[in-house]
Structure 1
């Protein structure tokens, strides 16, 4: 090739296909491909098994105390909440969570009285449910606050009835 005045162009200008240009073009092509290549589709986490609303008695509720990797349920004023996401606080009994005594139990009186002692729990599981009639206005307000907190944060999975109640599950 020659320029307009008839002189020859230098060899560097004439060669577009020089090794450095080929390397730069290859790197550019790889970068463009990496940017626009098809991505693997995002996979959603596996959904938890469906929860069936059921009726519990104190004897059937006690099974859900979080031991052996079971779910952790707590009853408040007859409603049973799945508090398993808060396992560090509510159970199991062996880990020493601050509310461990309530795992698998009716926690209504203890929450109302702001006491986490075992004395707040009904020891006889076949006894009638605590009617909470002796609570004062402040204790009932405490209990309502806890119940609202549980309702906002945890799923209601059932209701708690006394042994012998017509709604009680048959053994």
Structure 2
């Protein structure tokens, strides 16, 4: 005779294949897959080409105007700056494009971007800026300090035919 105080015995086994268990198992398998799948190798950005400090004459500086894939350089008081990072300002079509590949000292000092502020004769002497006033020289110094903070000095501007230009040509 059966004991009436004992709980009834389950005759059917409950199945583990419930929809929630299937979803949890799928999620677990997916997470394991994400963890174990091979990662794509990281590709580092290409390093910019090495910049060597060099001596420029005005004709040698002129091609560095941003055209034909060239970097953008400009000179201020004998220092040549690589302003390629500011190509939208100094490169072709930019508001300061006249200065690209040139000595920009007089134009920056005078606050003028006109073509007549640039040295016409690239083979002639460098502009000594002797006729500029104190206010203009102060403005030029401000520009030079900004360039020094922001851009890399890549060279020195010397006149054609100078001893430094001859020595630099001999080294190349």
Instruction: Please classify the TM superposition score into its range, dividing by the shorter chain length.
Output: 0.7 to 0.9
Distance 1:158 1:58 in 2: 12
Corresponding residue of 1:150: 147
Query: What is the deviation of 1:43?
Result: 2.7
Give the alignment of 1:149-168 within 5 angstroms.
149-168=146-165
Alignment of 1:26-37 (within 5 A): 26-34=26-34
1:170 matched to which residue of 2? 169
CA distance in 2, matches of 1:28, 1:117: 69
Q: Which runs of 5+ in 2 are unaligned?
A: none
SS at match of 1:86: helix
Tell me how far apart the structure 2 counterparts of residues 5 and 137 of structure 1 sit (CA, whole Å): 109
Residue equivalent to 2:90: 90
Q: CA deviation at 1:33?
A: 4.0
Q: Cα distance, 1:34 vs. partner?
A: 2.4
**In the TM superposition, what is the alpha-carbon distance from 1:134 to its structure 2 partner?**
1.4
Matched, 1:116 2:113: yes
Q: How far is 1:20 from its partner?
A: 4.6
Task: Show CA shifts across 1:102-132 (max 9, x none).
Answer: 0100000000000001111110011111111
Gaps of 5+ in 1: none
| Counterpart-to-counterpart distance in 1, 2:11 and 2:70 | 81
Determine the structure 2 residue equivalent to 1:8.
9
| TM-score after normalising by structure 1 | 0.85
Q: Distance in 2 between matches of 1:145 and 1:107?
A: 13
SS at match of 2:161: coil
Measured in 2, the distance between the counterparts of 1:6 and 1:124 equals 111
Q: Which residue of 1 aligns with 2:61?
A: 61
Summarize deviations over 1:138-169 as a string: whole Å, max 9, x none: 11111111111111111111000001111113
Secondary structure class of the residue paired with 1:158: strand
CA distance in 2, matches of 1:9, 1:165: 107
Structural RMSD (CA): 2.3
Alignment TM-score, normalising by the size of structure 2: 0.85
- Tell me how far 1:16 sits from its aligned partner: 2.3
- Number of residues paired by the alignment? 164
Distance in structure 2 (CA, Å) of the matches to 1:30 and 1:167: 68
